[in-house]
Amino acid sequence: MTNRFLRYALTFGVALFLTDPAFTQLTSTAPPANGSTAAPAPVAYVYVGTSKGINLYNAAPNGKLTLVSGSPFKTTGLMIGSNQRYFITLGINWVRSYPVKGNGAIGAQVSQINTQNYSGGDCGTTNGAVLDHSGQDVYVLLNVPPDGNNACDAYQTFKIATTSGQLTFNGATTQDNTSPPMRNLPTFLANNKFAYGINNFYFLTTGPPEIYLNGGSTFTRESNGTLEVLNLGWGFPPPYDYDVPQGDENLWVWLPLQVTADSTNHLAVGMYAWYDPPKGSSSRPQLASFAVDSQGHPVSTNTYKNMPTPDVFPADLNMSPDGKLLALGGGASGGLQVFHFNGAAPITKYSKVLTTGLISWIHWDKANHLYALSTGGKLYVYTITPTSIAAAPGSPYTVSGPAGLFVVPR
């Protein structure tokens, strides 16, 4: 039996699960800090959405979280992130910016802009956004049309003014898409020149058969911040070691699920064999590593024989800042797992499943802490190095109806 229908089922399931719920309140199970003792300088600011706004927490060197005075901060829409000068939120149509104070606190709104007034708006309403490494640009994905018929993906680029936080539209890149709307935001290479996305789209040359481009797209980031398509399809290794029947070259390929970049020029990709091979069925995804050349093209020497099979379905991937560790969130299937990332060499297993919770958001700071927020109402904090894993004091924290997580390393 083939897996051709799994392509749509998996994509649709992940898309539904990753849709942000309404803002809700976070409460910590950790005891309050002793007011008579000076708190250590935070190693990160941890933002958590609540029903009344956004709560801000200081992360201590040991990973313990302390609520910042003034929380919750009033915002509108789903939290996207901060460039340390401005905080960005996203509504169904609107992008908004807020100033950030020296202690990470969020001020009153300074700018808003309507995505539907610009190129790409005909692809639908918003489905997430992400900042680039410079923090100068926010990239908004639009692919949720009112009728549910997903015809295209659009990546709009908005510039964040350094001194005022004003948002301006720079441009948009649009691609055809026949899959259900999926939240796959671009990940940026460390040099900030190239971005990579998963789209699961196809095109017709002069007629049937349909040519599927296995969902991988490479973009160049132009000088003004806009994304331009560089290449459709990546250099995926053959999923199985056998001779492909003539005429079926475009069938026996990998379906990419998620992608994230390391601190240099490598990508980690969670992917699934589109079709079962003649030698037996494939029931679980595998993890591949890619090296990116100077022109932005990703190439892998991994094979199905040396790519690890995670115990957690890779609904979300997040790389540690030093590029040595790769965290997987299980999404609707549940679970959190950590792997050793080895550049272009095959990824290797590290941790067991750390929690079976339904993990929707995962982030790292630069002090070896991994933060994972579940839809079941738990915020997990771990101290993780390449040789040790331990829960941080106070972890897990209790969350009532989680709505988002963003971490700003200090």
Q: What is the pLDDT at residue 291?
A: 95
DSSP bridge pairs for 148? none
Q: What is the pLDDT at residue 365?
A: 98
Please tell me whether residue 231 adopts helix, strand or coil conformation: strand
Q: Which residue ranges make up each domain of the chain?
A: 1-19+183-353
CA distances in angstroms from 131 to 81, 91, 331, listed in the order given: 7, 16, 22
100: amino acid identity, one letter: V
Residue at token pair 């989680």: 402
DSSP bridge pairs for 319? 326
Full DSSP string of 143-202: EE-TTS---EEEEEEEEE-TTT--EEEEEEEEEE--SPP-----EE-TTSSEEEEE---E
Q: What is the pLDDT at residue 275?
A: 64
Q: What is the pLDDT at residue 110?
A: 98
Residue spans of the chain under pLDDT 70: 1-38, 150, 177-180, 199-215, 232-233, 235-253, 274-283
Q: In whole angstroms, give the CA distance from residue 271 to residue 285.
A: 5
219: amino acid identity, one letter: F
Task: Give the H/E segment covering residue 8.
Answer: helix 6-17
DSSP bridge pairs for 338? 327
The torsion region of residue 90 among left (phi > 0), alpha (psi -120 to 50) and beta comes to: beta
DSSP bridge pairs for 114? 94
Task: Give the H/E segment covering residue 227.
Answer: strand 227-232
Work out the end-to-end distance of the chain between its first and last CA atoms, rounded to an integer number of angstroms: 51
Q: In whole angstroms, give the CA distance from residue 192 to residue 261.
A: 11
Contacts of 116-121 with CB under 8 Å at 24 or more apart are 117/169, 118/156, 118/169, 118/172, 119/154, 119/156, 119/171, 119/172, 119/174, 120/154, 120/155, 120/156, 120/172, 120/173, 120/174, 121/154
CA distances in angstroms from 2 to 5, 115, 252, listed in the order given: 8, 40, 10
* Whole-model pTM over 0.75: yes
For the beta carbon of residue 103, count every other beta carbon within 10 angstroms: 12
292 contact partners, CB below 8 Å, separation of at least 6? 189, 194, 265, 266, 267, 298, 299
Q: What is the pLDDT at residue 386?
A: 97
147, 148, 149, 151 alpha-carbon torsion, rounded to 10°: 110
Sheet of strand 266-273, all strands in order from the earlier edge strand to the far edge: 254-261, 266-273, 286-292, 298-299
Distinct helix (H) and strand (E) counts, the chain: 1, 31
Label residue 32 exposed, middle or buried (CB < 10 Å: 0-12, 13-18, 19+). exposed
Whether the Cβ atoms of residue 303 and residue 241 lie closer than 8 Å to each other = yes
Q: For residue 17, give the nearest of 382, 400, 357 by alpha carbon.
A: 357
